[in-house]
Structure 1
Amino acid sequence: MTLSGKHALVTGGGTGIGLAIARALADHGAQVTITGRRAEVLEGVAGNGLYPAAMDVTDEAQVADTIAKAADQRGPVQICIANAGIAEGRAVHKTDMAFWRRMMATNLDGAFLTVRESLNSMRGSDWGRVIAISSIAGLKGLKGAAAYTASKHGMIGLIRALSEDYLSTPYTFNAICPAYVDTEIISRNVTSIQERAGVSADEARAMMVDANKHKRLIAPSEVAQAVLWLCGPGSESVNGQAIEIAGGKF
Structure 2
Amino acid sequence: MSDGRVALVTGAGRGIGRAIARRLSAEGCRVALVARSRDQLAETASGCAAAVKTIPADVTDPDAAERVHTEIERDWGPVEVLVANAGAGHSARLERTTDADWQRMLDLNLTAPFRFVRRAVPAMRAAGWGRIVVMASTAARIGEPYIAAYTASKHGVLGLVRAAAAELARTGVTVNAVCPGYVDTPMTEQTIGTIVATTGRSPDEARETLARKQPIGRLISPAEVADAVWFCVGAGAVTGQAIQVDGGTVQ
TM-score, normalisation: structure 2: 0.94
SS in structure 2 at match of 1:60: coil
Q: In the TM superposition, what are the counterparts of 1:38-77 in structure 2 within 5 Å?
A: 38-47=37-46, 48=49, 49-77=51-79
3-state SS of 2:240 partner: coil
Q: Secondary structure at the match of 2:63?
A: helix
Amino acid in the other structure paired with 2:191: N
Tell me by how many angstroms 1:249 deviates. 4.7
Conserved? CA contact 2:125–2:172, under 8 Å: no
Matches within 5 A, 1:178-193: 178-193=180-195
Q: Please give the root-mean-square deviation of Cα atoms over the aligned residues, in Å.
A: 1.3
Q: 1:44 is matched by which residue type in structure 2?
A: E
The answer to whether 1:14 aligns with 2:16 is no
The aligned amino acid for 1:227 is V
For the 8 Å contact 1:177–1:242, the answer to whether it is kept is yes
Match of 1:241 in 2: 241
Provide Cα deviations, 1:88-129, integer angstroms capped at 9, x if missing partner. 211110001011101111111111111111223323323110
Runs of 4+ in 1 over 3 A off after TM superposition: none
Partner in structure 2 of residue 5 of structure 1:
4
Gaps of 5+ in 2: none
Q: For 1:144-223, what aligned pairs fall within 5 Å after superposition?
A: 144-223=146-225
**Identical columns (%):** 39
Q: Which amino acid aligns with 2:42?
A: E
Partner residue of 1:28? Answer: 27
Alpha carbons of 1:189 and 1:201: their partners in 2 closer, same or farther (altered >3 Å)? same
Q: Kindly state the Cα deviation for residue 196 of structure 1 after the two structures are TM-superposed.
A: 2.4
CA deviations 1:16-57 (Å, max 9, x no partner) are 111111111111110000101112211232253321101111
TM-score, normalised relative to structure 1: 0.95
Instruction: Name the amino acid aligned to 2:206.
Output: A
3-state SS of paired residue (1:9):
strand
**Structure 1: 5+ residue runs without aligned partners?**
none
SS of residue paired to 1:173: strand
- 3-state SS, counterpart of residue 172 of structure 1: strand
- Residue matched to 2:231: 229
| Range with bigger deviation, 47-56 or 11-20 | 47-56
Aligned-residue offset at 1:203:
1.7
Report Cα offsets for 1:170-225 as digits up to 9, x if no partner: 00000010100011112111111112233222221111111112110101111111
User: In the aligned structure 2, how far is the partner of 1:164 from the partner of 1:93?
Assistant: 36
Q: Which residue of 2 aligns with 1:120?
A: 122
The amino acid that maps onto 1:35 is: V
- For 2:242, the aligned partner's letter is A
Q: How does 1:93-108 map to 2 (within 5 A)?
A: 93-108=95-110
1:123 and 1:43 map into 2 onto residues whose CA distance is 32
Contact kept, 8 Å, 1:76 with 1:125, in 2: the verdict is: no
Distance in 2 between the 1:206 and 1:96 partners?
29
